[in-house]
Amino acid sequence: MASLKDHKSHQLGLHKEVLTGRTQQVFFNPEESENFFYYNSYKVDFNKRTEIDVSDLDCVSLNKKIKNLMQKGFGTIVLKNPGAKHSLGVGILNKLNLIIEGSLGYFGVGSIDGPIVRISGRVGWSCAENMMAGKVVIEKNAGSCFGAAIRGGDLICKGSVGARSGIDMKGGTIIIGGDAGAFTGFMMQRGRIIILGNVGPNLGDSMYDGTIFVGGQIGSLGADAVEGELTELDHSWLKRKLKVAEIDKKINFKNFKKIVSGKKLWNYDNLEPTEKKGAI
């Protein structure tokens, strides 16, 4: 079991800052009172609904159309026939109900900040990359680099995902209902990943921080990833988060494993204070 308390970076008081703002996850705050303030956003009415047939549209035309509709106050937009095209629904910096009836290709709903997205099909590589806030629910499977570099929000895949999910993630929660591939949580820096099924080799390789919860078997742990202590607080958080994720399976959280950074690869403790002194 990893004991992180004696680590020098903890003694220095690092890792204790309280993060605020709509793009940052407030860890273990029971109210989850994220401050959703949307600068220059459109006022939309969720009851105002429209549909778009994507069959003959490219990603640029579609994404512009979504923006124009939000400008007109549409709060619920349904995309039909997405046909696994790439880069659909990207850059939505607004509250919106986006319902996608079908599958997305690569880079679907990337760089979003606020919308609730429901996808009935599968998504390709790098779904929701750089997501800042909001919620994305995928009913089927997802490709590799799922939720790469997300900063916040809830990203849920009810099926299985490819390799490197949550690579470089800096906040938010990724929830995977099935299995996950190799290098899940590679170099993650903050946030949480929950995998209900099995996960491939090199889990959490070179992770800086953050937490990974695994319900099934772990192929192997990556460099500097270690098993942490699973607490009652973790159990209650997992239970709550899976409810948010609309996953109704009966799960015995006592069998879960919690993976955290061993912080042995860090050179921050040696370098950062010196650098700070140099800067002063």
Q: With binding defined as CB under 8 A, does residue 183 bind another protein?
A: yes
Q: In this chain, which of 122, 158, 170, 192 binds another protein, going by CB under 8 A? A: 122
Positions of E strands within the chain: 45-53, 74-80, 97-101, 113-119, 133-138, 154-157, 170-176, 190-195, 211-214, 225-228, 257-261
Let me know how many helices (H) and strands (E) the chain has, helices first.
4, 11
Per the structure block, which two tokens stand in for 176? 């995977």
Q: With binding defined as CB under 8 A, does residue 197 bind another protein?
A: no
What minimum distance in Å lies between the beta carbon of 130 and another protein?
19
Judged by CB under 8 A, the chain residues 140 through 179 that form the site for another protein are 140-144, 159-164, 179
Q: How many CA atoms lie within 13 A of 91 on its CB side?
A: 11
Q: Which residue lies nearer to another protein by CB, 147 or 162? A: 162
| Sign of the four-CA dihedral 254, 24, 207, 272 | negative
If binding means CB under 8 A, how many residues of this protein chain bind another protein?
A: 30
Stretch that binds another protein, among 28-36, 79-87, 88-96, 252-260 (CB under 8 A): 79-87
Q: Which residue lies nearer to another protein by CB, 163 or 245? A: 163
Q: Which residue lies nearer to another protein by CB, 133 or 214? A: 214
- C-beta of residue 176 within 8 angstroms of C-beta of residue 157: yes
What minimum distance in Å lies between the beta carbon of 45 and another protein?
29
- C-beta of residue 163 within 8 angstroms of C-beta of residue 148: no
Would you tell me which residues interact with another protein (CB under 8 A)? 83-86, 102-103, 105-106, 120-122, 124-125, 140-144, 159-164, 179, 181-183, 200-201
